[in-house]
Amino acid sequence: MAVKVAAAFFFMLFFLSTACQAKLSSSFYDKSCPKAESTIRAAIRTAIARERRMAASLIRLHFHDCFVQGCDASILLDETSSIQSEKTAGPNDNSVRGYEVIDKAKSKVEKICPGVVSCADIIAVAARDASACVGGPSWAVKLGRRDSTTASRDLANTDLPAFTESLDKLKSRFQKKGLTARDMVALSGSHTIGQAQCFTFRDRIYNASNIDAGFASTRKRRCPRTGGQANLAPLDLVTPNSFDNNYFKNLMRNKGLLHSDQVLFNGGSTDSIVSEYSRNPAKFSSDFASAMIKMGNIHPLTGSAGQIRRICSAVN
């Protein structure tokens, strides 16, 4: 009898989990706000036309949102007496960007469909549109997420990957979120349009042994041993404004800017994936799109959970 009860219980949990996931659909707003995606796309294109670097920032914003509490727009909440904002967590503070772009897109969507489209969905759509805007892949974004009413600075400090971490540590972090090593390498490929601050790669360019000497010398010009903490350098020196597979070619030449980049090709288990993507840009694009869809499904709030925020930086 106990076995039957346990079996029924686990079946119920599986059914509820499946039903929850089924609520995410690429057609979620087709009737309630049919112009939602085109409105968001216009706002994203305007922002990237003004500053091309914003494309990478919006993809990273989605990543940093989903890795903390799931894809629930908790990263957008400002500090209050009851909310410890994730914006001031170590990995985000003076680093994550694009909040104002999401706010602008939300404002435009609210004008046509007030109280309908979540900030969490806007972040997901913005990441897709950012990729497409700079020559990267596009994909059908599953929609129907709702916004959290809480944030967690503590989780942001503990769950987000760090630029100093080993390959095994990075793989473990992604695995805990339901993402494979291939997903991790594919998602890292978005660094091809990203930039990093001097303090994140200073140790590598001055002290690492697995770095191309000429590449290190070039990077030292903008990143002195002391000072210049926030000086920027492109993660892809070859084609920093185009979404392509040069990032992986750079890794194979020991030209990864961050330690966490180069560990993907350093005699470890992901070398073969990096090598494959360096030879096959179509495979990289396909895997990147699949990994973004998968990441966008990390613990979304659906149904009656959470809320639809009117302003992304504050609960209703």
Task: Identify the active-site residue in 62, 64, 259, 299.
Answer: 64
Backbone φ and ψ for 273, nearest 5 degrees, come out as: -70, -45
Give the number of other CB atoms < 10 A from CB of residue 62. 26
Active site residue 64: yes
Q: What is the DSSP letter of 147?
A: B
74 annotated ligand-binding residue: yes
Question: With contact defined as beta carbons under 8 Å apart, do 100 and 78 qualify?
Answer: no
Strand partners, 103: none
299 annotated ligand-binding residue: no
Which amino acid type is present at position 181? A
Helices (H) and strands (E) in the chain, counts: 14, 2
Which amino acid type is present at position 82? S
- The label of the residue with tokens 């494959």 reads 276
Rounded Cα distance, 4 and 157, in Å: 42
Question: What is the chain's alpha carbon radius of gyration, rounded to the nearest angstrom?
Answer: 20
192 annotated ligand-binding residue: yes
Which amino acid type is present at position 146? R
165 annotated ligand-binding residue: no
Strand partners, 152: none
Residue 40, classed as helix, strand or coil, is helix
70 annotated ligand-binding residue: yes
Which uninterrupted H or E stretch holds 233? Answer: strand 232-234
Rounded Cα distance, 6 and 10, in Å: 6
**Cβ neighbours of residue 159 under 8 Å, at least 6 residues apart?**
67, 68, 173, 176
Rounded Cα distance, 157 and 152, in Å: 9
183 annotated ligand-binding residue: no
144 annotated ligand-binding residue: no
Rounded Cα distance, 189 and 185, in Å: 6
65 annotated ligand-binding residue: yes
Question: Which residue numbers belong to the known binding site for heme b?
Answer: 191
Question: Which residue numbers belong to the known binding site for Ca(2+)?
Answer: 65, 68, 70, 72, 74, 86, 192, 236, 239, 244
Residues taking part in catalysis: 64
Question: Which residue numbers belong to the known binding site?
Answer: 65, 68, 70, 72, 74, 86, 161, 191-192, 236, 239, 244
Question: Which residue numbers belong to the known binding site for substrate?
Answer: 161
